[in-house]
Structure 1
Amino acid sequence: MINKVQIADKAYWIGKVDDRKVPFHRLVLEKGTTYNSYFLDTDKPTIIDTVDIAFAGEWVKALAEMVDLKRLQYLVVNHVEPDHAGAVGSLMSKAKNAAIVTTEKGKEFLIGMFKLQNAKFIVIKDGDTLDIGGKTLKFLETPYLHTEETMVTYSIEDKILYPCDQFSTHIANYELFNDSAKEDITEDFKVYYSLIMHPHRPYVKDMLTKIKRLDIDMIAPSHGYILRDNANKYIELYDEMSTLNTKKNLKALLLLSSMTGNTSKVAQSLAQGLNEMNIENTVVNVKNAEMETIIASAKEADLILVGSSTKYGDMIGNLEDVLKELTKLDLSGKFAAAFGSYGWSGEAIEVISDYLNSTNATVLTTSYLIKSTGAEDIRLPLRVAFTPDEASKNLCIRTAKAISEVLLRA
C-alpha cells in the first residue's frame, strides 16, 4: 500500500514500506526497508525520487489518485539505482508534461535504463536552483555517494534536505519520523553508513563540506526514517564516521620510468591523492636511483605502485631490472598495482602487472576495488592516454584515494 503523509507545507511522503526480508547488495535486510518518494504539491507539482522497480505499477497507480499526472512538471532523480529510480519509466509514460531533473550522468543512465531518449531533461550543475512555484530547490552534485551520477536536493523555504541514499536507514516502519520511532535508530543508522557509504569516505567529506553551508531542519532520505528531530546529530555522525584513521603511519612507494614525462605526471597525481588521504609516499624515477635504495624502500612500503611509458610494446629504461628484484622479495601483506601512460598502445602496463602478479603481494585490480570499496569508476591497472588532461589527473587522484581506502581498511 502506498501512503501519503505530510512532512511540511505542501510536501508529502509518498513512499512504500517493504517489510519483507529484502535481498539487497548481497545482503538480506532482516528489518526490511522503505522506499521514500516525495511529492511537492506546489504551483509546479514535483516528485523527488520514486520507489523500487518491483513496486512501480502500484506506486504510479496510487500517485494518479493523489494528483492528475498530466499536472506534474518535474521529476527530480537524485540517484539512478532501481530502488529509487525504478518507477521513472512507468511514471514518465503517464506524466507527459514532466521534465526530469538530474545530473548529466543521471540523464545518460536514465536513457540507457528506460529508453527515455524523447523525454524532457533539465540537466543540473552543482549549485543550480529551480523555482517550482512556491518553493525553490537547490541541487548539489555528490558524485560517488555511492555512484557517479548522485546529487542531493535542498528545499530552501522548507529547509529540508532530500539526499536519497545518504543519511538513510534500512528499517521497514510506519512511524516515518525518527522522533516517532519505537527505539533508538542510531545503531541502524551507523550500520547503513558502514555498509553503503563507508567505502566512499573521501566523497562523504566532500558532501559534508557542501551541505554545511545549508540551514537544515530536516533530512528526508530515500530509505528508512525521516530525520526531523536533531538532524544535525546525524550530520555530525557522518562527519565522525568518515574521519580518517591517521594513526597507521602507512607508506607508499611509487616507482616509475618515464619517456616524455607523462608517466611522471600520472605518478604525481597519484601522490596528490595519497597525500589527501594522509598516506606518506615517495616517488622514485628508477633511472636516477640506486637498486639498494629502491629495495630498501620497497621493504618498508605498505603499497608499491609501478609505472612505465610504453615504447615498442614494452617498458622503458631499467624498470624491468627493478621488477625482477621485486619478485625475489617477500611482499606478503603489501599491496601493489601498475600504472602508466601510453600513445597508440599500452603493453608496458600489462607487463608490469605480470611481474607484480608473480610476487606474493596483493595486486589491486578493478575487480578487487569494486568488491572491497564499491569504486566502480576506477580501473586498475591505471592507463592514461597521452598527456594527462584535467579529467585524467582527477581520475588518478580518485584512484589513489580508492587504493588508500583499501590500505586503511586492511
Structure 2
Amino acid sequence: MVATPVKTEKRLTIQTSEITVDTTAIRSLDWDRDRFDIEFGLQNGTTYNSYIIRGEKIALVDTSHEKFRQLYLDTLLGLIDPKEIDYLIISHTEPDHSGLVKDVLSLAPQAIVVGSKVAIQFLENFVHQPFERLQVKNGDTLDLGKGHVLEFVSAPNLHWPDTMLTYDRGTGTLFTCDVFGMHYCGDHLFDEDLAAIEKDYHFYYECLMGPNARSVLAAMKRMDQLAEITMVANGHGPLLRYNVNELLERYRSWSQAQAQAEKTAAVFYISDYGYSDRLSQAIARGITKTGIAVEMVDLKTADPQDVQELVNRAAALVIGMPPLSGSSNKGITTSLGTLIAAAHEKQYVGFFESYGGNDEPIDPLLTKFREIGLIKGFTSIRIKDTPTEATYQLCEESGTDLGQILSQDTKIKQRKSLDSDLDKAIGRISGGLYIITATKGDLSGAMLASWVSQASFEPPGFTIAVAKDRAIESLMHVGDTFVLNVLEESKYQPLMKHFLKRFPPGADRFEGVKTQPASNGAKILTESLAYLECEVVSRMECSDHWVVYSKVTNGRVSNLDGLTAVHHRKVGNYY
C-alpha cells in the first residue's frame, strides 16, 4: 500500500492507494469538517473517494469536492494522463462527488460520461458544455478489458434519484458512492477497526439511508444477483474489505425494521431545486426518529403511477414547494396533480419552502388539501433566508412532531398490552428530576429527565436515557456539551410545568425562564438546586432510547440543605 498525504493549512489531504488489481483509490481527506449535508454534526470529519480502474480501457469513478480542486487534479495528473481516460463514471451528481466533473472533462474532453438517465440530465444542468455520454440502466455492462467487466446496479433514492452502483466482475469490487459509506476520516484505508467506525456507519445510515429504507431493500435485492462482493469501494470513509458481509447485512436488517413500520409518511421534494433535498432530508430524519417509515420521492423524476400508489397507502404527506409552473417543469406539475388527485381525507399534510427563489406559494395548495379533508401535520415552514442550523433544527423538529402524531395510537395500544403486574413492578423504579440544557452553535434545547444515574467516580460521570424522538437528542452526541440542572424538592413544580409543555418546532424553550450561561455555553437554570457541566463521552443504543454517558467537568450547589426532587411512577411503560 502506498499512501501519499499532501497537507494544507486547512487539513485537507490526499491519500492514494492500490486497493485491488488495476484499481487505485484517490481519497480526499477532510479532517476538520464538522457539518454535512442535512447539517448533522460530524465527530470525525469525512472523506470523498474516487477510483481509477485500468483495463485495456480506463475508467475514472467519481471525482471529489470542489474544495479539493487543486489537490485532486494534481494527484490525478500524477497518476494518469487524462487523455488516456476513456470513461468517467458518475455514481450520482451531488457536488461532493461530482464537483470536479467539469474540470476533469476540460482535461479529458474525449472521456465518455457514464451514468443513469437522471444523472445525465442533472449533469447537463451544471456542466454547461457538450460531452459524450453513455446512459446505462440496471443490468447493463461495460467491458474495459483485462477481465474488468463493469455491471451497473440501479439504486434510485440512495439518497438521490440518480444513484447507480458499479460492480467490477473482475475484482468483485462494488463502487457505491454514498451507499455503505460513513463520515469518518482516519489513517486507515480499510475497515479493519470495526469498533472504531460502526457508530459512524450506523449514524450515517440513520441520517441518509433510513428515510429510504424501501429503496435500500430494492437496491440490495438487485445486488443479490451479482457474484461475490469482496470489497465495497464507497464514496465516504474507509472502504469495506474486512467486514463486508457483516456491514451489508446491517443495512438489510435496519431497512427491514423500518419498512415493517405500521405507518408511512411520504416526503416529496425536488432534488436539484433550491435547498429542497437537504430540507426534506432533515424532516425525514425527524419522522424516522419516532419509528414511522419514510419514503422520499423526487417530484421531478417520479413516475405518476408510483406517486399514486404511495399516496394511497401513506398516513401523511410532506411536500416541498416546487418552482412556479413552466414548460421545463412539466414532470413536476404532472406529479403534483397526481398527488392531489390521490390524496384522501384523514391523511396529515405538511409543507415547506425550498428557497429556490421561485417557489410556488404554500397557501393555495394547503387550501386544496384541506378542502379534500387532510389534516395539517405541522405549521408550514416558510424560509425567507438561506437555511441555517436553526432552519434544519426546525425541519427536524417538525418531522418529529408529525411522527409523534402518527405513532400516538400505536403507543397507546402498546401501553395497554403490557402485563399489568410487570408494568407496575417496573414503575417502582424511581429517579430524581432534572432538566438537561444544551447549546451548540445557534441551536439550543432542553428536556425534563428522570432516568439519570451516576456511573463513574474517576472521572466523575453519569448516564442519561434520552428517547430517540426527543429534539435534544441531536445535541447530545460524542463531544457535545450540556448542563444537568438538578431540581429542588420544595420548588420544582414551576420549572417542571414549563419544560413539560409541548413546544412548537423551533420555539425558544427558555422564554420566561431565568438562566445564566455556563462556561461550556449551555444554560444554567437559576432556580435549580445544583448544576453539572458535562461532556458526552459515549452513547449506547437501547431500543427506543439512547443511553448517554458523560463526564462532569464543573458543578455547583446553590442550597446545601436542599434535597433533590424525586419522581415516583405507578407504571413503567411510559413516563
Query: Residues 122-133 of structure 1: matches in 2 within 5 Å?
Result: 122-133=134-145
User: Does the 8 Å CA contact 2:89/2:114 hold for their aligned counterparts?
Assistant: yes
For the pair 1:93 / 2:93, whether they are aligned, the reply is no
Task: Determine the C-alpha separation between the residues in 2 that align with 1:65 and 1:107.
Answer: 28
Query: Residues 239-254 of structure 1: matches in 2 within 5 Å?
Result: 239-244=252-257, 249-250=262-263
Aligned to 1:4: 16
Query: Residues 172-321 of structure 1: matches in 2 within 5 Å?
Result: 172-179=185-192, 181=193, 183-214=195-226, 215-244=228-257, 249-250=262-263, 272-273=309-310
Q: Are residues 239 and 352 of structure 1, via their aligned partners in 2, closer, same or farther at CA, if it must alter by over 3 Å?
A: same
For the pair 1:353 / 2:369, whether they are aligned, the reply is yes
User: Does the 8 Å CA contact 1:141/1:150 hold for their aligned counterparts?
Assistant: yes
Q: Secondary structure at the match of 2:15?
A: coil
Task: Determine the C-alpha separation between the residues in 1 that align with 2:43 and 2:216.
Answer: 26
Q: Are residues 120 and 22 of structure 1, via their aligned partners in 2, closer, same or farther at CA, if it must alter by over 3 Å?
A: farther
User: Does the 8 Å CA contact 2:152/2:164 hold for their aligned counterparts?
Assistant: yes
* 1:58 to partner: Cα distance: 1.8
Task: Determine the C-alpha separation between the residues in 2 that align with 1:111 and 1:270.
Answer: 26
Structure 1, residues 305-353: CA drift from partner, whole Å, max 9, x if none? x9669xxxxxxxxxxxxx9xx9xxxx8xx72479xxxxxxxx9976433
* 1:46 to partner: Cα distance: 1.0
Q: Are residues 246 and 168 of structure 1, via their aligned partners in 2, closer, same or farther at CA, if it must alter by over 3 Å?
A: closer
Out of 34, 37, 43, the residue aligned to residue 47 of structure 2 is: 34
Q: Are residues 12 and 407 of structure 1, via their aligned partners in 2, closer, same or farther at CA, if it must alter by over 3 Å?
A: farther
Aligned to 1:362: 377
Q: Are residues 361 and 225 of structure 1, via their aligned partners in 2, closer, same or farther at CA, if it must alter by over 3 Å?
A: same
Q: Which amino acid in the other structure matches residue 254 of structure 2? A: M
Q: Which amino acid in the other structure matches residue 39 of structure 1? A: I
User: Does the 8 Å CA contact 1:336/1:356 hold for their aligned counterparts?
Assistant: no
Structure 1, residues 186-213: CA drift from partner, whole Å, max 9, x if none? 2111011011111111111111111112
* 1:60 to partner: Cα distance: 1.3
Task: Report the structure number with the largest CA radius of gyration.
Answer: 2
User: Does the 8 Å CA contact 1:337/1:356 hold for their aligned counterparts?
Assistant: no
Task: Determine the C-alpha separation between the residues in 2 that align with 1:50 and 1:15.
Answer: 10
Q: Secondary structure at the match of 2:35?
A: strand
Query: Residues 71-150 of structure 1: matches in 2 within 5 Å?
Result: 71-116=84-129, 118-134=130-146, 135-150=148-163
User: Does the 8 Å CA contact 1:32/1:170 hold for their aligned counterparts?
Assistant: yes
Task: Determine the C-alpha separation between the residues in 2 that align with 1:106 and 1:335.
Answer: 32
For the pair 1:24 / 2:36, whether they are aligned, the reply is yes
* 1:229 to partner: Cα distance: 1.1
Structure 1 or 2: more strand by fraction: 2
Out of 32, 49, 68, the residue aligned to residue 55 of structure 1 is: 68
Q: Which structure 2 residue ranges, 5 or more long, are not aligned?
A: 1-5, 7-13, 266-302, 316-338, 352-362, 384-390, 396-401, 408-467, 470-575
* 1:133 to partner: Cα distance: 1.9
User: Does the 8 Å CA contact 2:85/2:108 hold for their aligned counterparts?
Assistant: yes
User: Does the 8 Å CA contact 1:17/1:174 hold for their aligned counterparts?
Assistant: no
Instruction: Quote the RMSD (CA, aligned, Å).
Output: 4.0
Task: Determine the C-alpha separation between the residues in 2 that align with 1:153 and 1:356.
Answer: 44
User: Does the 8 Å CA contact 2:214/2:259 hold for their aligned counterparts?
Assistant: no
User: Does the 8 Å CA contact 1:336/1:364 hold for their aligned counterparts?
Assistant: no
User: Does the 8 Å CA contact 2:114/2:133 hold for their aligned counterparts?
Assistant: yes
* 1:56 to partner: Cα distance: 2.1
* 1:83 to partner: Cα distance: 0.7
Q: Are residues 78 and 360 of structure 1, via their aligned partners in 2, closer, same or farther at CA, if it must alter by over 3 Å?
A: closer
* 1:364 to partner: Cα distance: 9.2
Q: Which amino acid in the other structure matches residue 147 of structure 1? A: W
Q: Secondary structure at the match of 1:145?
A: coil
For the pair 1:46 / 2:62, whether they are aligned, the reply is no
Q: Which structure 1 residue ranges, 5 or more long, are not aligned?
A: 253-265, 280-305, 310-322, 339-346, 375-402
Task: Determine the C-alpha separation between the residues in 1 that align with 2:259 and 2:196.
Answer: 31
* 1:148 to partner: Cα distance: 1.0
User: Does the 8 Å CA contact 1:57/1:90 hold for their aligned counterparts?
Assistant: no
Percent of residue pairs identical: 27
Which structure ranks higher in relative contact order (CA pairs < 8 Å, sequence separation ≥ 6)? Answer: 1
Task: Determine the C-alpha separation between the residues in 1 that align with 2:126 and 2:69.
Answer: 14
Query: Residues 379-398 of structure 1: matches in 2 within 5 Å?
Result: none
Structure 1, residues 270-310: CA drift from partner, whole Å, max 9, x if none? 78437878x7xxxxxxxxxxxxxxxxxxxxxxxxxx9669x
Q: Are residues 405 and 164 of structure 1, via their aligned partners in 2, closer, same or farther at CA, if it must alter by over 3 Å?
A: farther
Q: Are residues 95 and 186 of structure 1, via their aligned partners in 2, closer, same or farther at CA, if it must alter by over 3 Å?
A: same
Q: Which amino acid in the other structure matches residue 86 of structure 2? A: Q
Q: Which amino acid in the other structure matches residue 166 of structure 1? A: V
The TM-score normalised by the length of structure 1 is 0.66
* 1:57 to partner: Cα distance: 2.5
* 1:94 to partner: Cα distance: 0.3
User: Does the 8 Å CA contact 2:340/2:369 hold for their aligned counterparts?
Assistant: no
Task: Determine the C-alpha separation between the residues in 1 that align with 2:52 and 2:405.
Answer: 40
User: Does the 8 Å CA contact 1:335/1:364 hold for their aligned counterparts?
Assistant: no
Q: Are residues 191 and 94 of structure 1, via their aligned partners in 2, closer, same or farther at CA, if it must alter by over 3 Å?
A: same
Task: Determine the C-alpha separation between the residues in 2 that align with 1:228 and 1:362.
Answer: 44
Q: Which amino acid in the other structure matches residue 68 of structure 2? A: F
* 1:27 to partner: Cα distance: 2.8
Structure 1, residues 72-100: CA drift from partner, whole Å, max 9, x if none? 10110001011111111111100122111
Q: Are residues 223 and 364 of structure 1, via their aligned partners in 2, closer, same or farther at CA, if it must alter by over 3 Å?
A: same
Structure 1, residues 106-126: CA drift from partner, whole Å, max 9, x if none? 11111211213x111111111
Q: Are residues 206 and 269 of structure 1, via their aligned partners in 2, closer, same or farther at CA, if it must alter by over 3 Å?
A: closer
Q: Are residues 166 and 270 of structure 1, via their aligned partners in 2, closer, same or farther at CA, if it must alter by over 3 Å?
A: closer
Aligned to 2:165: 152
Q: Which amino acid in the other structure matches residue 142 of structure 1? A: A
